[in-house]
């Protein structure tokens, strides 16, 4: 016989409350909790961002413990192999570009022999089923470190930038990208990219628009990784004000009309309300980017013994999905998918 749970000493005697509803009944064991769970995570929801460089050795990123700039040949293939072993079949590439190749007009961004197209071709040859996303923006290639072309007055030029972005997107599609992702926040870029892709015959290449991308402090570690800090000023004339909610709907409307296939919110955790806003106002898939600073916060707190790393990672991702994201870009993709695969093998009552 099972030992009865012992009544702790000092528990006061009490008549049961007269309650019709006791929500705890549905939480009383692991089987019920699993059966009634409204949102679940799957490795198929994740997109793994990978930082690639020309070197052959992996270079650690100080502000992102556990993340590396990897060589675009072996390093990239190793990262992707590890990801697909646990069911993550989507990656997005971010290039480290040597300063010598950076110019005010960022023309290296559409060089068909640049690091990104080379990496795409290699990846497609090696793992044809992997879905490849590319970042469309000038900042890694721009000597001013901005997502757009800067004039003498220090202004970020919209329309001139859009022409460059369209060339960049077509070049990436030529190399084999499945989804191009403009992260620059210029006006009209989705439509211009759609037209340029169609004219080049890339009707089946998708656009994931960074729809509501905020001017966020949480991108700091990423800019260290790519050495892409703006050389002056900030990005507030193109990225959105963190205080704004309604304004995201203006971006939704234009990205939809211009032909976006997926709409993104970025960052994710501080902007869960915006993810929900998009989910309730579009029928397109919604993605969310758990950015570098969100990653580093969890890593740092876990390394200091302040958080349970695995639980914090999985909860952060589950809640981003609950808020309404179908897809999550996260540096934890491979690690989180590994946890999910291992947990799926466990019994709910264990």
Q: How far apart are CA 152 and CA 332, in angstroms?
A: 40
Interface with ligand PBG: number of residues (CB under 6 A) = 12
Q: H-helix or E-strand containing 329? A: strand 327-330
Query: Smallest gap, in angstroms, from Cβ of residue 146 to ligand PBG?
Result: 9
Active-site residue (options: 102, 235, 266, 321): 266
How far is the C-alpha of 205 from the C-alpha of 65, rounded, in Å? 34
In angstroms, the first-to-last Cα distance of the chain is 20
Q: Which is nearer to ligand PBG, 26 or 244 (CB)?
A: 244
Cβ 139 to ligand PBG, closest distance in Å?
Answer: 5
Q: Does 321 qualify as catalytic in the annotation?
A: no
- Is residue 144 within the footprint of ligand PBG (CB under 6 A)? no
To the query of whether residue 236 is one of the catalytic residues in this protein, the response is no
What does 101-130 look like in DSSP terms, one character per residue?
G-BTT-GGGG-TTSHHHHHHHHHHHH-TTS
Residue among 62, 61, 79, 157 at smallest CA distance from 123: 79
| Residue 162, C-beta contacts closer than 8 angstroms, at least 6 positions apart | 186, 187, 188, 189, 192
Determine the distance from the C-alpha atom of residue 328 to the mean position of all C-alpha atoms in its chain, rounded to a whole number. 5
Residues 118-137 interacting with ligand PBG (rule: CB under 6 A): 135, 137
Binding mask 207-226 for ligand PBG (x = CB under 6 A): ------------x--xx---
Cβ-based nearer residue to ligand PBG, 183 or 206: 183
CB of 119 to ligand PBG, least distance (A): 16
Residue closer to ligand PBG (CB basis): 26 or 229: 229
Q: Among residue numbers 23 through 82, which ones bind ligand PBG (CB under 6 A)?
A: none
Contacts of 149 (CB under 8 A, 6+ apart): 104, 105, 106, 138, 142, 156, 157, 160, 161, 164
In the complex with ligand PBG, the residue whose CB is nearer, 60 or 348, is 60
Residues numbered 319 to 338 that lie near ligand PBG (CB under 6 A) are none
Closest chain position to ligand PBG (CB): 222
Footprint on residues 256-295 left by ligand PBG (CB under 6 A): 291-292
Q: How far is the CB of 33 from ligand PBG (least distance, A)?
A: 32
Other C-beta atoms within 10 Å of 150: how many?
22
Measured from the CB atom, the residue of 84 and 235 that comes closer to ligand PBG is 235
Dump the DSSP string for 126-166. Answer: H-TTSEEEEEE-SGGGBTT-SSSEE-TTSPEEHHHHHHHHH
Q: The dihedral of CA 20, 23, 24, 26: what is its sign?
A: positive
Q: How far is the CB of 313 from ligand PBG (least distance, A)?
A: 15
Q: Give, in degrees to the nearest 5, the angle at Cα 252 between 247 and 254.
A: 100
Distance CA 135, CA 123 (A): 16
* Interface map 182-201 toward ligand PBG (x if CB under 6 A): -xx-----------------
Q: Compare residues 235 and 279 and give the one whose CB is closer to ligand PBG.
A: 235
From 102, 213, 235, 321, the catalytic residue: 213
Site residues, ligand PBG (CB under 6 A) = 135, 137, 139, 147, 183-184, 219, 222-223, 235, 291-292
Residues recognised as catalytic = 213, 266
């Amino acid at each position: 016989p099972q030992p009865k749970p012992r009544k702790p000493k000092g528990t006061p005697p009490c008549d049961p409350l007269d309650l019709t509803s006791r929500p705890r009944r549905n939480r009383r064991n692991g089987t019920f909790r699993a059966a009634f769970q409204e949102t679940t995570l799957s490795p198929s929801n994740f997109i793994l961002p990978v930082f690639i460089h020309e070197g052959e050795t992996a270079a650690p990123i100080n502000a992102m413990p556990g993340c590396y700039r990897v060589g675009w040949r072996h390093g990239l293939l190793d990262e992707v192999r590890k990801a697909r072993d646990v069911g993550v079949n989507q990656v997005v590439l971010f290039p480290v570009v040597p300063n010598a190749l950076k110019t005010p007009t960022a023309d290296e961004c559409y060089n068909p022999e640049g690091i990104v197209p080379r990496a795409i071709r290699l990846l497609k040859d090696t793992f044809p089923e992997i879905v490849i996303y590319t970042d469309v923006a000038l900042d890694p290639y721009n000597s001013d470190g901005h997502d757009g072309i800067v004039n003498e007055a220090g202004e970020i030029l919209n329309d001139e930038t859009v022409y460059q972005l369209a060339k960049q997107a077509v070049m990436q599609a030529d190399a084999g990208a499945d989804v191009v992702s403009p992260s620059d926040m210029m006006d009209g870029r989705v439509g211009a990219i759609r037209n340029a892709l169609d004219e080049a015959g890339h009707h089946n290449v998708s656009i994931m628009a960074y729809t509501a991308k905020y001017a966020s402090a949480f991108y700091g570690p990423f800019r260290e990784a790519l050495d892409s800090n703006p050389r002056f000023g900030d990005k507030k004339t193109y990225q959105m004000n963190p205080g704004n909610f309604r304004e995201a709907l203006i971006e939704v409307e234009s990205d939809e009309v211009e032909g976006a296939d997926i709409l993104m919110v970025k960052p994710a955790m501080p902007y869960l309300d915006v993810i929900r806003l998009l989910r309730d106002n579009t029928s397109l898939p919604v993605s969310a980017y758990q950015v570098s600073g969100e990653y580093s916060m969890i890593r740092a707190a876990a390394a200091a013994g302040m958080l349970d790393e695995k639980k914090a990672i999985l909860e952060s991702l589950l809640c981003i999905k609950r808020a309404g994201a179908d897809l999550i870009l996260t540096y934890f993709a491979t690690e989180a998918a590994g946890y999910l695969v291992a947990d799926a093998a466990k019994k709910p009552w264990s």
